[in-house]
Amino acid sequence: MSLAWQATIAGIILGSALALALLIHPALTRFGKMIAARTKTTLDDLLIDAVSRPLFLFILVHGFFLALTSTTLLDRWQMYVNKAWLSTALLILVYGLQKVAKAVLTWYGQEIASKTGSRVDDKLLPLVRRVVTGLIYVIGGLMILENLGLRLSPLIAGLGLGGLAVALALQATLSNLLAGASVVADGSIGVGDYIELQGGPSGTVEDIGWRTTKIQTSMANMVLIPNNKLVDSIVTNYQSPTPALNVFISCGVSYQSDLNQVERTCLEVATQVIHDLPEAVVVKDYQPGIWFMAFGDSNINFSVVLRATNRVGSFQLTHEFIKRLHARFAQEGIEINYPVRKLVYATGDEAGGRKDALAFTSPTPPDRPPS
């Protein structure tokens, strides 16, 4: 067969492949989406968009390969042509698999993760997308290199040593990354929770990133906590299991006080505080309590228990209760003692015995304004 006929056949094959690719691409997009529109899920729409372009490229490249092999001009390089064709086909396959994986993960994020009521899926999806994409590219690249005749054993060994060096250099970053993933997956801490680290800061969680967790303190400062430090710390989450928490307010009254009167007064003040404060601060249906705890050096100590709706509300609840209880104690004549010490000292001997004197001392109270 003459070269002219071979060139004509090659042109016909290439033109047919181009026409087929141009025909299938819009047909698949149009009719496929018409069929997909009848379903309730968006997965089929995303998959059609994902495979249409790789399919177009595959038909075009395959037609070009058939056109080349239909002539005798490249017979001596046929082995290289075959390797080039297979490598190109693998590259298109990797491209298609990456788009399909992205479509599936996008569908999961839109239709599944949004309905789970948990933020774990939303946080992990970007990481899963990067990991899956990286694995597809790495495996596809290794297959292409193997097809080209390259020895992969030295390359894999080099990648292993290089990966070890990178892992050592990025040890802190990888530690924070894995710790952040574990925090998100565990779900015990979430955005909006009020947390307190043992011996560390406390505040509202603003964001859980892959390197740090951001909390906003009561002074409106943003504190960045490395995730590995957060995982290794003892953390109190004031939002779990419920945002409401008991507030213990300690106080003490003098030994001369009528404890029944003290109990009645404290409960009346607590009940009035619960009634006056808004529901955003205090739990309305909670019954306050009082317990006398111990005989102190100067006072009989007790604690009053109320319930706030959240950690921030506990501060306002404590503030308001202490103000009102102090005013009510002054009105009722109930005294909160200053620290008092009992001193015993000798004054002299009488009839061979010792005579002791007692004295009570206390710090000088602050000057009070004239009434």
Provide the CATH number for the domain around residue 203.
2.30.30.60
Give the lowest-confidence range in 52-61, 113-122, 184-193: 113-122
Within this chain, do residues 251 and 230 fall inside the same structural domain, yes or no?
no
Our CA angle for 262, 267, 269, nearest 5°, is: 95
Predicted local confidence at residue 369, as pLDDT:
46
Predicted local confidence at residue 368, as pLDDT:
47
76 belongs to a structural domain: yes
Report residue 293 as tokens. 């705890």
Boundaries of domain holding 148: 3-169
Give helix then strand counts, H and E, for the chain.
9, 10
The Cα–Cα gap between 146 and 168 comes to 29
Within this chain, do residues 11 and 158 fall inside the same structural domain, yes or no?
yes
Judge whether 288 and 306 are in contact, CB under 8 Å.
yes
Q: How confident is the model at residue 170 (pLDDT cuts 50, 70, 90)?
A: low
Q: Is the pTM of this model over 0.75?
A: no
The Cα–Cα gap between 243 and 52 comes to 50
294 has which bridge partners?
A: 301
The Cα–Cα gap between 94 and 80 comes to 21
- Residue 111's identity, in one-letter code, is E
Our CA angle for 79, 85, 88, nearest 5°, is: 140
Average pLDDT over the chain, rounded to whole? Answer: 79
Is the pLDDT reported for residue 337 higher than 70?
yes
The backbone region for 108, taken as left when phi is positive above 0, alpha when psi lies in -120 to 50, beta otherwise, is alpha
Within this chain, do residues 275 and 206 fall inside the same structural domain, yes or no?
no
Highest mean predicted confidence (pLDDT) among 30-34, 42-46, 139-143, 315-319: 315-319
Is the pLDDT reported for residue 110 higher than 50?
yes
Between 228 and 323, residue with greater pLDDT: 323
Provide the CATH number for the domain around residue 254.
3.30.70.100
Is the pLDDT reported for residue 26 higher than 90?
no
Is the pLDDT reported for residue 2 higher than 80?
no
Per-residue pLDDT tens for 216-251?
Answer: 988 888 999 888 888 888 888 888 888 888 999 999
202 has which bridge partners?
A: 196
Could you tell me which of 272, 261, 367, 369 has the C-alpha nearest to residue 323? Answer: 272
Per-residue pLDDT tens for 268-316?
Answer: 999 999 999 999 899 999 999 999 999 988 899 999 999 999 888 999 9
Between 329 and 352, residue with greater pLDDT: 329
Within this chain, do residues 143 and 45 fall inside the same structural domain, yes or no?
yes
